[in-house]
Amino acid sequence: MLSTSQPAADIAVRAVHTNADVTLSFVRTRARFRPAGPASVVVAVSLLLAGCAAADLGTEGGGETGAEPQVTASAPAEKNPAKKNPAEEPAEKPVESSDESQAPQTEPSPVAAPAEGPVDAPGAPPATGLDLTEHSATDPGSPWVVVNKRRPLDPIDYEPDLTVVRGYLVRTDAARDVAALLDAAAADGVRLTLRSAYRGYPKQAAVYEGWVAQLGAEQADEVSARPGHSEHQTGLGVDVGGTTRPECDFEACFGETVEGRWVAEHAAEFGMLVRYTRQNSAVTGYAPEPWHLRWVGRELAAHMRATGVTTLEEVLDVPGGDYAD
């Protein structure tokens, strides 16, 4: 109880109010009152009530009490570090898609949005978005150069920049994929070997003349290119062989070997085509050669696989078939 008999009273008021971890303290206030009887009690009670009210205002509004305002809103929760972004996860197997230009969504919606614009008719080849005019089909330095019986190299004695791969010369821009193909086969337990690669104009002339001497010109044209018309001269063509049935190297039965089947399935993954097949011989002008691979780069090889086109002549719209003369 407060005394009203003293002419001067030291009234010590300390109000402590706790709300959500906020404590507001009023420091000692020294006040001198004239003896006024019960009025001193009224003043003391008023101060006590005012102190509690001020404490309430300080916790809710982060106001003007001098204390650091407390953050009452919860901070955004961090993403679970164990949950990886699907776009950063390497796929275990290649994903076959007709549209490789579309990036994977990191937060896929459970309901697919309806496609906008026209939809390809059933049976239409899938669109891959590849610009088929990106590289020349006539420049001998182009990865997409088409060399066949109708289209010789220009200049006819063209010589490319070359790199050695497993003891054979191949064009420099194809070398990495040729080596990767051989390494991938080995990783799958398939021993694939190089049997032939770059041949310059003089060498190709000698090879062709040897076939003419053995078979005659007409049959030689079915199995060997005239000098200046060979993909080997570009440095982009290679011949592969195997070890399970060595007698099938450079023979049609190579396609039936373990190595031949592996090549037919995986060559496109490394930017290569099995260039001459039974199905496309009328377009290419050559008998089937399941051992002969032509590097065109991974983008074009993937496009051709996706669209089902097997020849450079068709995909790049250039003439093929037999010699004009």
Instruction: Please tell me whether the overall predicted TM-score, pTM, comes out greater than 0.75 for this model.
Output: no
Q: Where are the domains of the chain?
A: 17-61, 162-315
Sign of the four-CA dihedral 173, 174, 180, 182: negative
Residue 38 banded pLDDT, cuts 50, 70, 90: low
Average pLDDT along the chain = 74
C-beta separation of 289 from 264 below 8 A: no
Which architecture does CATH list for 162-315? 2-Layer Sandwich (3.30)
Tokens 């099995």 map to which residue?
Answer: 274
Cβ partners under 8 Å of residue 258, min gap 6: 190, 242, 244
Task: Return d(Cα 93, Cα 62) in angstroms, integer.
Answer: 56
Is the separation of the CB atoms in 248 and 242 below 8 Å?
A: yes
Please spell the DSSP secondary structure of 43-81, one letter per residue.
HHHHHHHHHHHHHHHHHHH--SSSSPPP--SPPPPPP-T
% pLDDT > 70, the chain: 61
pLDDT above 70 for 92: no
CB count within 10 Å of CB 150 equals: 16
158-212 per-position pLDDT tens digit: 999 999 999 999 999 999 999 999 999 999 999 999 999 999 999 999 999 999 9
Q: What percent of the chain has pLDDT over 90?
A: 59
